[in-house]
Structure 1
Amino acid sequence: MGAAEMEIERRDRVTHGDYVAKLHGSDSTAKLSWTDRGGVRHAEHTFVPTSFRGQGIAEKLVQALVADARKHGFKIAPDCSYVDTYFRRHAELAELRA
């Protein structure tokens, strides 16, 4: 299973949550963690196990967060360096950035 077919689980605990991807052939997961502060989701940490890096998994996690921001109308504060880099590379997302 490549990143394109990956299923992402959304774990929303109101004030914080995670986007979690089960990694094919492994008990490991990749994760993007966020905390809500004043209606802004602060993307705080993105983690992909070393052996799964470079496959677009972190990008899929960010895309799930962006899709939810568009659907639910919240802004994203890219506190995590990966999410910040993603936003800088995608100028079309500027309206979603807090």
Structure 2
Amino acid sequence: MKALKWDLDQSQMTVHLEDESFALIKYQQNGDVLHINSTRIPDALQGKGYGKVMMETMLTEVDKKGLSIVPVCSYVVHYMSRNPQWSHLLAE
């Protein structure tokens, strides 16, 4: 599993991918619910499976912390629809 850094002050998470490259996840938190507003993989790393790495890393951490998510970002919506094993993390 890749390393995730949670920056509460900036309402974002970063996931180390390779070398000095990081995925970026921006969110808004309301209690125990994270609204995942945007995600970003560096252009040079797109199409190499790092979106999945980013999501698996982030969702594992969200699960550990007992939080839930509302997918707002189109990539997160798409990922969650194709990966029902994470559906328990969707806010009701």
Question: Per-residue deviation at 1:15?
Answer: 7.8
RMSD: 2.1
Counterparts in 2 of 1:1-98, with a 5 A limit?
7-13=2-8, 16-24=11-19, 27-98=20-91
Higher Rg: 1
Question: Per-residue deviation at 1:67?
Answer: 0.5
Change (3 A) 1:48 1:12: same
Q: Which residues of structure 2 form unaligned runs of 5+?
A: none
Counterpart amino acid of 1:13?
Answer: L
Counterpart amino acid of 2:75?
Answer: Y
Q: In 2, distance between residues paired with 1:73 and 1:9?
A: 16
Detail structure 1 runs of 4+ shifted over 4 Å in the superposition: none
Q: Which residues of structure 1 form unaligned runs of 5+?
A: 1-5
The number of aligned residues is 91
Question: Per-residue deviation at 1:60?
Answer: 1.2
TM-score, with structure 2 as normaliser = 0.81
TM-score, with structure 1 as normaliser = 0.76
